[in-house]
Amino acid sequence: MGKYLIKRILIAIPVLLMVTVFCFGMVNLAPGDPSDLYLSQNATQVQKQEMKKNLGLDKPVYVQYVKWLGKTAQGDLGFSFASRTPVAEVIPEKLAATVELLICTLILSYAVAIPLGIICARHQGGWLDNTITGVSFLGVSIPGFFFGLGMVYIFAVELHWLPTGGMSSLGQSSGLLDRVSHIIMPTIVLSLFYCSNMLRYVRSSMIDIFSENYMRTAVSKGLSRKVVLWRHGFRNALIPIITVISSDIPKMLGGAVVTEQIFSWPGLGQLTISSIGSRDYPMLMAINLIAAVGVLICNLIADVLYAAVDPRIRY
């Protein structure tokens, strides 16, 4: 396992480099010039060139990339064009807010989807299975922004049960209950798609498992239904479930962009939107780098979990 992990990490390095090359090129190909944000419309060409030089944008793109890569390797992510503060000082707070939202989303999504998926598989073709599956298809079909705006209107504007957005109430100490009340709606909105999607995967996997001969053998031995379900059934269904989870986490980061914008959640998603609007290249590159590293780590963890849940898999 140790050799395999080292090999995967070594393979991930050139992959990460290729991702940074692609992202750096796409960011610099975007229309607009960051120097325009600091100058008036009547600025002369000399002033524009001087501002580009101050921002480090006067060099060719490949020179800018090499310079950025060298500083990043040393832990220097540069300065934000928008706030003129070090990117490394802004990212941790925003990342913590997004991670908090993603953890709550993961817990809610799979705590609901896995038991319901098993129930659907146990009652395949019954009214309960059809009802839950129908609701899951509805959850996959509803756009997140539409569902989010609907929840804001119902629970915040009309019923006044929950705050409209933000991470804490203004002018008040951010206690646990206040923090929980602010994260409820973003978590539900972000969980809707992934809960519905996982439910269908669990249902399909468990239906296949229930038809296997070893499940019939376990039942014929007189084992309890709980032992048959969890020890023999669910564990063998974990491989496709782990695959879905490892692919869902990076998608959640993308979904958080919309959700955080709707609920004014101060995380990486909201920071991404504001950085795009201000053409903040260093900040966008830092966010892309974090997302790429997150995807690689999720894939590596998934491979390790495969061997942990299935003794037939060895590296």
Whether residues 117 and 265 share a domain: the answer is yes
Distance CA 102, CA 174 (A): 20
Considering the domain architecture, whether residues 223 and 279 belong to the same structural domain is answered as: yes
Q: Are residues 125 and 151 in the same domain?
A: yes
Query: Do 137 and 267 reside in the same domain of the chain?
Result: yes
- The position carrying tokens 């999504």 is 109
The confidence score (pLDDT) of residue 256 equals: 85
Q: What is the pLDDT of residue 75?
A: 86
Residue 2 lies in a domain: no
Looking at the DSSP bridge assignments, the partners of residue 86 are: 79
Pair 217, 273 in one domain: yes
pLDDT of amino acid 314: 67
Does residue 101 sit in the same domain as residue 167? yes
Domain's final residue, options 43, 73, 103: 73
Same domain, 155 and 27: no
Report d(CA 222, CA 219) in Å as an integer.
5
**Beta-bridge partner residues of 79:** 86
Residues 273 and 173 both lie in one domain: yes
Q: Identify whether 131 is part of a domain.
A: yes
In a domain, 315, yes or no: no
Co-location of 124 and 247 in the same domain: yes
Looking at the structure of the chain, the number of domains it has is 2
pLDDT at position 105, please? 93
**Which pLDDT score, from 0 to 100, does residue 187 have?**
93
Burial of residue 314 (number of CB atoms within 10 Å: 0-12, 13-18, 19+) = exposed
Any idea what the CATH number is for the domain that residue 190 is in?
1.10.3720.10
Quote the domain boundaries for residue 169.
88-309
Residues 53 and 190 in one domain: no
Q: Residue 27 has what pLDDT?
A: 84
Residues 153 and 94 in one domain: yes
Q: Phi and psi (nearest 5°) for 99? A: -60, -40
Task: Please check whether residue 297 lies inside any domain of the structure.
Answer: yes
pLDDT at residue 220, as a whole number: 79
Confirm whether 7 is domain-assigned: no
Question: Which pLDDT value is given to residue 171?
Answer: 62
Q: Each residue's pLDDT tens digit in the chain (315 positions)?
A: 678 778 878 888 888 899 899 988 888 887 777 777 777 677 777 877 887 787 777 888 888 899 989 989 888 888 888 888 899 999 999 999 999 999 999 999 999 998 999 889 888 888 998 999 888 888 888 888 889 899 999 998 888 899 888 887 776 666 788 888 899 999 999 999 889 988 988 888 888 887 777 777 777 777 777 777 777 777 777 887 888 888 888 888 888 888 888 898 889 988 988 888 888 888 999 998 998 888 888 888 888 888 777 666 666
Domain boundary among 73, 97, 113: 73
Give the C-alpha separation, 300 to 250, whole Å: 13
Per residue in 208-267, pLDDT (tens digit) is: 887 777 777 777 777 777 777 777 777 777 887 888 888 888 888 888 888 888 898 889
Residue 27 lies in a domain: yes
What is the three-class DSSP state of 32? Answer: coil
Does 198 fall in a domain?
yes
DSSP 190-245: HHHHHHHHHHHHHHHHHHHHHTSHHHHHHHHTT--HHHIIIIIIIGGGHHHHHHHH
Q: Is residue 79 part of a domain?
A: no
Identity of the amino acid at 159: L
Please tell me the distance from the alpha carbon of residue 37 to that of residue 303, in angstroms, as a whole number.
45
Q: Are residues 31 and 158 in the same domain?
A: no
Could you tell me the pTM of the whole model?
Answer: 0.85
Reading the block at residue 37, the tokens are 């944000």
Can you tell me the distance from the alpha carbon of 270 to that of 258, in angstroms, rounded to the nearest whole number? Answer: 8
